[in-house]
């Protein structure tokens, strides 16, 4: 198939992926040695799952030498365990972050505060000065405006006050003579 010489092509899938991996803030975590993330495979731990889907690939791309382990475990409704992330730093310290009932952006901020270093602190200062949040969160979808109640339609030539309804009949038979 021939392309027109002046045709403008949309961005490729690869360019979109690269753009999402390199978007600001830069995730250079010089203090980080290893991450171990544990959460439910489905039906629970939504913030942790969203973090793993959207933020872990960016962290891996910016920090290829960091060991990242993700454990997605089956969980029934009766079980009550919480998601967690064990963060191991290069100085030998380790900290466990409780991820229960947290948004992915809150998880991201907590991890960056722990392991982000000077670039993250600089990013936070710039965002505070500009009056912006540290992490751009997706905007919630707008709720549809409430619609006016629909008018009921009646048989042609009849008005609601003139209909004689038979209480023993149901459906269309109740309004038919």
Answer whether residue 164 shows pLDDT above 60: no
Answer whether residue 1 shows pLDDT above 60: no
Q: Mind listing the pLDDT tens digit for each residue in 24-83?
A: 677 778 888 899 998 888 778 888 888 888 889 888 888 888 898 998 888 887 888 889
Name the pLDDT band for 162 (thresholds 50, 70, 90). low
pLDDT at 176: 66
Answer whether residue 139 shows pLDDT above 60: no
Q: Mind listing the pLDDT tens digit for each residue in 84-95?
A: 999 998 888 899
pLDDT at 53: 87
CA distance 101 to 40: 13
The model's pTM: 0.64
**Centroid of chain to Cα 136:** 12
Is residue 70 helix, strand or coil?
strand
Domain boundaries, the chain: 31-130
Q: Provide mean pLDDT across the span 122-143.
A: 70
Burial letters for 122-141: b for 16+ Cβ neighbours within 10 Å, e otherwise?
ebbeebeeeeeebbeeeeee
Q: In this prediction, what percent of the chain has a pLDDT beyond 70? A: 73
Q: Provide mean pLDDT across the span 129-149.
A: 63
Contacting residues for 103 by C-beta, under 8 A, at least 6 apart: 47, 50, 137
DSSP characters over 32-63:
EEEEEEEEESSSS-HHHHHHHHHTHHHHHHH-
Between 130 and 163, the more confident residue is: 130
Is residue 67 helix, strand or coil?
strand
Q: Provide mean pLDDT across the span 97-118.
A: 86
pLDDT at 174: 64
Q: Looking at domain 31-130, which of 3.50.50.60, 3.40.30.10, 2.30.30.140, 3.40.50.2300 is its CATH number?
A: 3.40.30.10
pLDDT at 37: 92
């Amino acid at each position: 198939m021939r392309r027109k010489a002046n045709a403008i092509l949309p961005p490729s899938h690869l360019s979109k992926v690269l753009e999402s991996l390199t978007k600001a803030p830069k995730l250079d975590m010089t203090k980080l040695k290893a991450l171990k993330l544990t959460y439910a495979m489905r039906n629970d731990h939504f913030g942790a799952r969203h973090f793993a889907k959207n933020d872990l690939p960016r962290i891996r791309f910016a920090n290829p030498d960091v060991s990242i382990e993700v454990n997605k475990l089956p969980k029934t409704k009766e079980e009550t365990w919480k998601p967690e992330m064990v963060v191991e730093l290069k100085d030998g310290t380790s900290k466990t972050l409780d991820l229960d009932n947290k948004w992915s952006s809150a998880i991201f901020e907590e991890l960056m505060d722990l392991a982000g270093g000077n670039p993250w602190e600089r990013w936070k200062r710039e965002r505070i000065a500009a009056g912006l949040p540290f992490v751009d969160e997706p905007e919630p979808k707008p709720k549809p405006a409430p619609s006016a109640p629909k008018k009921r339609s009646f048989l042609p030539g009849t008005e609601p006050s003139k209909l004689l309804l038979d209480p023993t009949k149901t459906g269309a038979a109740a309004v038919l003579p």
